[in-house]
Amino acid sequence: MNEPAKKIPTYEDILVLPEGVRAEIINGQLEASAAKPNFGHRHVTWAMTAEIGSHFRQGSGDSGWIIEIEPDVQFGQDIISPDLAGWRKVRRSAPNPLESLVTIIPDWTCEILSPSSGRRDRVEKFRIYQEHGVSHYWIVDPLNKTLEAFLNDASVGAWKRLGAWGGEEKARIEPFKNFEIDLSVFWAGTP
């Protein structure tokens, strides 16, 4: 007996899920989670958005970026919602308020680790982002108060680790080297 062909999930499968369910399609699998991120994850997301996003809103220095929280982005057949993503304005115009799926690959993605996402962020998304040409990838670990940054080195087809920062450091990290980021605000209130 032939088994029926397995249906590959699409963005429409994500759209019909109940409100509040976070879902992604990774390697042909629909991965849905009703779990809400913990306080450390939420705080880092908020703090990074305030720290990085305020730089662009104030027009101080490089205002050529669009930064979004958890956008649904298409990477081939994969649909991923990075915790944060950024596009240079020369590559993406202002988002349409009704837009739900972004088909332009981000220039920068950032994943904030949580106990349930660490392997996926470090292995599966790491590979997908590199293969689809994301220029910069940050992995933030609220528990260990660290930020690792990677540059997609097209000459070798792999990520180049730019470095790791943590604790109370202030740093200029690609692709946002035009301004200093105070990492201490990312960890406030985390154990």
Instruction: Identify the pLDDT of residue 1.
Output: 58
- In a domain, residue 32? The reply is no
Residue 190 near residue 183, CB atoms below 8 Å: no
Q: How far apart are CA 44 and CA 50, in angstroms?
A: 10
**Position 22 confidence tier, pLDDT thresholds 50, 70, 90:** confident
Residue range 123-179, pLDDT digits in tens:
999 999 999 999 999 999 999 999 999 999 988 989 999 999 999 999 999 999 988
Is 116 within a domain?
yes
Alpha-carbon span 110 to 5, nearest angstrom: 35
Q: Is residue 92 part of a domain?
A: yes
Q: Quick check: is 129 in a domain?
A: yes
Strand 108-112 to strand 136-141: parallel, antiparallel, or no bridges (unpaired)? parallel
Tally of domains within the chain? 1
Helix (H) or strand (E) holding 43: helix 39-57
Residues 172 and 179 sit within 8 Å (Cβ to Cβ): yes
With respect to residue 106, please indicate whether it lies within any of the assigned structural domains: yes
Whether residue 16 is contained in a domain is answered as no
pLDDT confidence of residue 61 = 47
The CATH number of whichever domain residue 49 belongs to comes to: 3.90.1570.10
Q: Which residues of 83-105 are buried (b: 16+ CB within 10 A; e: fewer)?
A: bbbbbeeeebeeeeeeeeebeeb
**Domain presence at residue 14:** no
pLDDT tens string 92-132: 887 888 888 999 999 999 999 988 888 899 999 999 999 99
Residue 59 pLDDT greater than 60, yes or no: no
Averaged pLDDT score across all residues of the chain? 88
Q: 181 with 175: CB under 8 angstroms?
A: no
31 found inside a domain? no
Tell me the pLDDT band of 60, cut-offs 50, 70 and 90.
very low
> What is the pTM (predicted TM-score) of this model?
0.90
Which range of residues forms the domain containing residue 137? Answer: 37-187
